[in-house]
Amino acid sequence: MAKNYIENVAIVGAGGHVGSYMSKALVEGGKHKVTAITRPDSTAKIPTGVARAEVDYSSHDSLVEALKGQDFLIITMNVMAPPGSQEKLVDAALDAGIKFIMPNEYGGKYSDEKYAQEVVLGMSALKVRRYIEEKGGNNMHWIALSCAFWYEFSLSGAEMRFGFDFLEKKLTLFDNGDFKITTSTWDQCGRAVAKLLSLPIEPESPGQLSVNSYKNDAVYISSFYTSQRDMLASVLRVTGQKESEWTITHENSRVRYERGQAMFKQGDFHGFAILLYARMFFQDGSSLFLEDLQNEKLGLPQEDLDKATALAVRFVESGEHKGWVF
């Protein structure tokens, strides 16, 4: 009889931002054996309890051998990874007999193709989803984690993300700064993956939630439904600063999006970040997926905004945020 639970999980990028949180949550749950797929010369720190499988990414056979025996493959990689990187992993996963893949997305509601096209990343995500469906057929499926922007990453970044420049104490509010978006912490992403992969593959009772409930679909999660002004209030509570110490300006979200587009077309990658984040704050709410959230079904906790803000502030104070892409 075929097993009905995910046991062996391979992660590409297990030492990275969201990958390390997923790895830790899976290990701490005690239900999975986690393996990091990594290059021999990688200097990434792999979380405790995670096995290591070294591969030659240019070799299909090397990847297949490393992925044999795995039930689920999670892909987390840099946004600047070479084109075709995920497709190579998909091909190897299929030949290794893997049944499920979580592609490298971690964004918004890409089933809305207009939104997917406007944020650029969405079209690449849809391409990989369709590739998995075409190649995998009935043998392999994708499950995306749609978490919107990572809160601590986005808040601690430069002005091009959530508008905050901590070093200069400057804030650009998009429109009036009151529009609320969903955003997720890395911790919540890790918990969501551990919860998802702890479900039975097939329902064991009528109506039971299962891994197959989400095959070829996205799992939508969030930590906070919050606005820039909410974020600012949290920053002031955490730091003890006063709003009068900050220089606050405004920019129309659509004008900002168009400015980012123009910069990106000229080869300035900062423009990509600007357009990506500005699009999330369009006042028509087209970027939101509140009605699709799976937090309650997965048993995800309500998080503390100030605790997450404090982590972002520490990233800035330590200088850790400086090495992050865009």
Tokens 């999330």 locate to 280
Predicted confidence at residue 11, as pLDDT, reads 98
- Judge whether 2 lies within some domain: no
Residues near 288 by beta carbon (within 8 Å), at least 6 away in sequence:
109, 181, 182
142: nearest Cα among 89, 91, 102, 194:
102
104-130 pLDDT, tens per residue? 999 999 999 999 999 988 999 999 999
Shared domain for 244 and 111, answered yes or no, is no
- Alpha-carbon distances, residue 278 vs 71, 159, 259 (angstroms): 37, 11, 10
For 183, what's the count of Cα atoms within 13 Å in the CB-facing half-sphere?
A: 25
Shared domain for 228 and 252, answered yes or no, is yes
283-315 pLDDT, tens per residue? 988 889 999 999 999 999 999 999 999 999 999
What is the 8-class DSSP label of residue 214?
A: G
C-alpha 269 chain-centroid distance? 19
Shared domain for 15 and 112, answered yes or no, is yes
Q: How far apart are CA 326 and CA 318, in angstroms?
A: 18
The two tokens of residue 255 are 């004008």
- Judge whether 3 lies within some domain: no
Supply φ then ψ for residue 73, to 5 degrees.
-115, 125
- Judge whether 265 lies within some domain: yes
Q: What is the number of H-type helices and E-type strands within the chain?
A: 12, 13
Shared domain for 228 and 174, answered yes or no, is yes
Shared domain for 71 and 94, answered yes or no, is yes
15: nearest Cα among 50, 40, 41:
50
Q: Which of 88-102, 105-119, 248-262 is the least confident region?
A: 105-119
- For residue 178, the enclosing domain spans 149-184+224-289+298-317
Shared domain for 199 and 168, answered yes or no, is no
Predicted confidence at residue 126, as pLDDT, reads 96
- Judge whether 323 lies within some domain: no
Shared domain for 194 and 246, answered yes or no, is no
Predicted confidence at residue 285, as pLDDT, reads 86
Shared domain for 191 and 50, answered yes or no, is yes
Shared domain for 109 and 52, answered yes or no, is yes
- Judge whether 322 lies within some domain: no
Structural contact between residues 265 and 259, judged by C-beta atoms closer than 8 angstroms: no
Supply φ then ψ for residue 90, to 5 degrees.
-60, -45
Q: How many CB atoms lie within 10 A of CB 258?
A: 14
The CATH number of whichever domain residue 308 belongs to comes to 3.90.25.10
188: nearest Cα among 179, 196, 176:
196
Shared domain for 32 and 139, answered yes or no, is yes
pLDDT at 1 over 60: no
- Judge whether 29 lies within some domain: yes
- Alpha-carbon distances, residue 230 vs 74, 152, 175, 191, 321 (angstroms): 33, 14, 14, 24, 22
Mean pLDDT computed over every residue of the chain: 95
Domain-ending residue, one of 220, 236, 269: 220
123-175 pLDDT, tens per residue? 999 999 999 999 999 999 999 999 999 999 999 988 999 999 999 999 999 99
pLDDT at 234 over 70: yes
Q: Which of 77-91, 144-158, 204-218 is the least confident region?
A: 77-91
Q: How many domains does the chain have?
A: 2
170-193 pLDDT, tens per residue? 999 999 999 999 999 999 999 999
- Residues 300, 303, 307, 308: is their CA dihedral positive or negative? positive
Predicted confidence at residue 226, as pLDDT, reads 98
Shared domain for 180 and 125, answered yes or no, is no
Predicted confidence at residue 325, as pLDDT, reads 59
pLDDT category at 81 given cuts 50, 70, 90 is confident
Shared domain for 172 and 74, answered yes or no, is no
The CATH number of whichever domain residue 63 belongs to comes to 3.40.50.720
Predicted confidence at residue 326, as pLDDT, reads 52
- Judge whether 229 lies within some domain: yes
Residue percentage of the chain with pLDDT more than 90: 90
Q: Exposed/middle/buried for 109, CB within 10 Å: 0-12, 13-18, 19+? A: middle
- Judge whether 324 lies within some domain: no
SS3 (DSSP) at 277: helix
Q: How far apart are CA 126 and CA 114, in angstroms?
A: 12
3-21 pLDDT, tens per residue? 999 999 999 999 998 999 9
Predicted confidence at residue 274, as pLDDT, reads 97
